[in-house]
């Protein structure tokens, strides 16, 4: 018997089923020419669709990206959130100015309140996309890729990334005025956008 002998069941070309059998379990299915193979857990490639298919549309996008929030709305939300944080900060300042034991206790209470309010605002922003200020002016912070809220961790990273907005003479805070996506430097680093809440 030789490799090409029709009586030899082992003489098939690699990857081909034995003669008279259909491809099935144990034999790879051949993909059409030019279509990359699909693995388990990946959506099937549709003709004319770019490879990978992109992200599915999420509930927040409803078929397209919502209108981007302009700089004035963003500033309004920031001011309202700043006023909320100013209350415990004022308690810290008053307590520190008193200089006695009661003032020290008041300063500690104010400081703990300041930390608590800041964490609460980060939680709201990460889980819903809206702080109190953003909700008041009707805007929402979302991930650019899929329109979902950032999550607490990324909201915290974005807050730290605002350092970049301030580092270059505060130009990053003004960047949304002329940027096509109306993003600050922190938004660009974290791939986030601020949109009008529907």
Q: How does pLDDT run across 116-173, given as a tens digit for each residue?
A: 999 999 999 999 999 999 999 999 999 998 899 999 999 999 999 999 999 989 999 9
pLDDT tens track for 37-58? 555 544 555 554 444 444 444 4
Length of the chain: 198
3-class DSSP state for residue 89? helix
Question: CB–CB of 72/60 below 8 Å?
Answer: no
User: For 78, what's the count of Cα atoms within 13 Å in the CB-facing half-sphere?
Assistant: 11
Q: With CA atoms as reference, report the closest residue to 121 among 171, 164, 167, 155.
A: 155
Indicate the pLDDT class of residue 178, thresholds 50, 70 and 90.
very high
Determine the distance from the C-alpha atom of residue 47 to the mean position of all C-alpha atoms in its chain, rounded to a whole number.
Answer: 29
Rounded-to-integer distance, Cα 191 and Cα 198, Å: 21
| 102 DSSP assignment | H
Helix (H) / strand (E) containing 95? helix 71-98
What pLDDT does residue 104 have? 85
CA distance 67 to 181: 10
The whole-chain average pLDDT of the chain stands at: 79
The two structure tokens encoding residue 128: 């819903």
**What number of other Cβ atoms are within 10 A of residue 57's Cβ?**
12
Look at residue 82 and tell me whether its pLDDT is greater than 60: yes
Is residue 188 pLDDT above 80, yes or no? Answer: yes
Cβ pair 141, 150 in contact under 8 A: yes
Pairing of strands 192-196, 139-143: antiparallel
Task: Report how far residue 9's alpha carbon sits from residue 19's, in angstroms, rounded to the nearest whole number.
Answer: 8
Task: At 64, list the tokens.
Answer: 């397209």
Q: Where are the domains of the chain?
A: 71-196
Q: How far apart are the first and last CA of the chain?
A: 75
Instruction: Pick from 8-12, 92-96, 119-123 the range whose average pLDDT is largest.
Output: 119-123
Residue 1 binned pLDDT confidence (cut-offs 50, 70, 90): very low
């Amino acid at each position: 018997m030789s490799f090409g002998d029709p009586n030899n069941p082992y003489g098939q070309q690699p990857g081909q089923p034995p003669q008279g059998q259909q491809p099935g379990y144990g034999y790879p299915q051949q993909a059409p020419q030019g279509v990359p193979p699909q693995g388990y857990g990946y959506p099937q490639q549709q003709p004319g669709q770019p490879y990978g298919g992109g992200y599915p549309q999420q509930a927040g996008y409803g078929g397209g990206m919502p209108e981007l929030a302009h700089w004035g709305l963003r500033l309004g939300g920031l001011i309202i959130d700043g006023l909320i944080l100013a209350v415990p900060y004022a308690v810290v300042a008053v307590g520190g100015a008193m200089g006695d034991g009661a003032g020290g206790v008041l300063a500690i209470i104010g400081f703990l309140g300041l930390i608590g309010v800041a964490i609460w605002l980060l939680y709201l922003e990460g889980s819903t996309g809206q702080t109190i200020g953003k909700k008041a002016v009707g805007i929402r912070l979302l991930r650019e890729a899929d329109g979902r809220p950032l999550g607490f961790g990324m909201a915290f990273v974005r807050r730290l990334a605002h350092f970049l907005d301030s580092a270059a003479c505060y130009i990053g805070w003004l960047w949304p005025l002329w940027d096509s996506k109306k993003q600050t430097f922190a938004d660009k680093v974290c791939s986030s956008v601020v949109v009008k809440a529907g």
